[in-house]
Amino acid sequence: MHAIDPDRDDAPMFSADAFRLGADDAALVTWARRFGKRVLAPRAAKYDRDATFPIENFRDMHREGLLAICIPTKDGGLGADFRTYCMAAAELGRYCGATALSWNMHVSSTLWSGALADDLPMSADDRAAHERRRRMHYGRILEQGAIYAQPFSEGGAAAAGTVAFGTEAQPTAGGFVLNGKKIFASLSGAADYYGVLATERAEGAAASRRNTIYLAVPANAPGVSVVGDWDPLGMRGTVSRTLLFKDVFVPDDEMLMPRGVYFEAATRWPHMFLTLSPTYMGLAQAAYDFTVAYLRGEMPGTPPVKRRMFPTKQIAVAEMHVMLEQTKALWFQAITEARANPTKEQILRAYAAQYTVMENANALAAKAIRTCGGQAMLKSLALERVYRDSRCGSLMLPWTAEICLDRLGRETLYEPGEKDE
């Protein structure tokens, strides 16, 4: 059961006219919205209830081309840029948060190695090797529907960007030997490749964040295992279990970026970490859509009782509308200006946008439950899932709500290198 009448096309979150989108970008985002409503929404409750990975959705996304949304057109993909991808992901998040968030992990592997890497400095040799390797990764996705995950978190400060990753890749003939552990690995057990961040470290050398290496580890490589259970509050379909790597040999060609380039990306293209926010922008919209449909007595699966005539309900919807518009406006600005080497003002705005989306998605869902009332939070309706899923947004490293505030405060008051006496 989902929030909106299945036979009616939903209004876009960002209409092409109002937000001045190009025709191609608008068409891709419309396609994602219709796919979300037609394919994802009817299946979302089942994956949430069972906490199983929505593999069917990924097979359909492969058939319909969506796994290749950010693969450059010259390599056979749809060539969506950062902003178009973000809007498409938000539209999917409206209908199934867990699928949108898992899809983000997959798509980021192609966006970061694609359009983002094209913006970063590399030697001619590195560029040529990178183009050759990424064509191999993209070929797997295009031809076989391969799914890539993005397990970075380790339970310490590394995923927050402050220390080197504890997962280590020791250089060896023809590749690396990988050892370590990743927690909260969305798509664990379902992905074909895990896009792992590890510290490249030769025997006896010191660990450094500059030596972060980004490797696609085949899920079936000897030494890779998935452990632990998965029974969380929300985002249950992401199946984010723990990954262990024990002496896993990873060939050189599995590098998703040349040596040193991930560190450059994290420094020069900081909006790359905003890619976790679109899912939650979609959930914010879903909470609002639900409330309007419910109060109008138009929620499929419920009696056609109208509740819109009560002034308190009208005020609550008005407040939700204001919060949603504020969230959309700030987020749209941030995803529009994302680029290499942004200004300080743009970076601070990106933190503010991430914070706002992650906090407001859950605030809107909580308000939707209070406003719609007890019958609206039954498990037969989508709202309680939206509420639980949206609670996860502010926890996502590296830009958790806390870290965004932390950096906003510090970077507003201190210029780089400034210290107090």
Ligand X SMILES: Cc1cc2nc3c(=O)[nH]c(=O)nc-3n(C[C@H](O)[C@H](O)[C@H](O)COP(=O)(O)OP(=O)(O)OC[C@H]3O[C@@H](n4cnc5c(N)ncnc54)[C@H](O)[C@@H]3O)c2cc1C
Residues that bind ligand X (CB under 6 A): 105, 150-153, 155-157, 159-160, 162, 184-186, 235, 238, 240, 392, 395-397, 402-403, 406
C-alpha span between 45 and 162 (Å, rounded): 37
> Residue 4 or residue 276: which is nearer to ligand X going by CB?
276
Residue with token string 């990764």? 137
Q: Which of 130, 128, 132, 100 is nearest to 113 (CA)?
A: 130
> Residue 20 or residue 46: which is nearer to ligand X going by CB?
46
Q: Which of 278, 270, 269 is nearest to 357 (CA)?
A: 278
Cα atoms in the Cβ-side hemisphere of radius 13 Å centred on 325: 7
CB of 152 to ligand X, least distance (A): 3
CB of 339 to ligand X, least distance (A): 24
Residue with token string 């909106």? 4
> Residue 267 or residue 314: which is nearer to ligand X going by CB?
267
CB of 391 to ligand X, least distance (A): 9
Structure token pair of residue 112: 């970061």
Structure token pair of residue 178: 């990988």
Q: Which of 247, 281, 258, 265 is nearest to 95 (CA)?
A: 281
Structure token pair of residue 60: 């359909």
> Residue 157 or residue 305: which is nearer to ligand X going by CB?
157
Cβ contact 68:78 at 8 Å:
yes
Q: Which of 421, 321, 420, 303 is nearest to 371 (CA)?
A: 321
Residue 265 makes CB contacts below 8 A (sequence gap 6+) with 112, 116, 117, 120, 257, 272
> Residue 26 or residue 98: which is nearer to ligand X going by CB?
98
CB of 140 to ligand X, least distance (A): 19
CB of 191 to ligand X, least distance (A): 9
> Residue 109 or residue 356: which is nearer to ligand X going by CB?
109
> Residue 371 or residue 400: which is nearer to ligand X going by CB?
400
Query: Which helix (H) or strand (E) covers residue 244, if one does?
Result: strand 241-251
> Residue 247 or residue 402: which is nearer to ligand X going by CB?
402
CB of 269 to ligand X, least distance (A): 18
Residue 65 makes CB contacts below 8 A (sequence gap 6+) with 78
CB of 235 to ligand X, least distance (A): 3
Cβ contact 239:232 at 8 Å:
no
CB of 348 to ligand X, least distance (A): 16
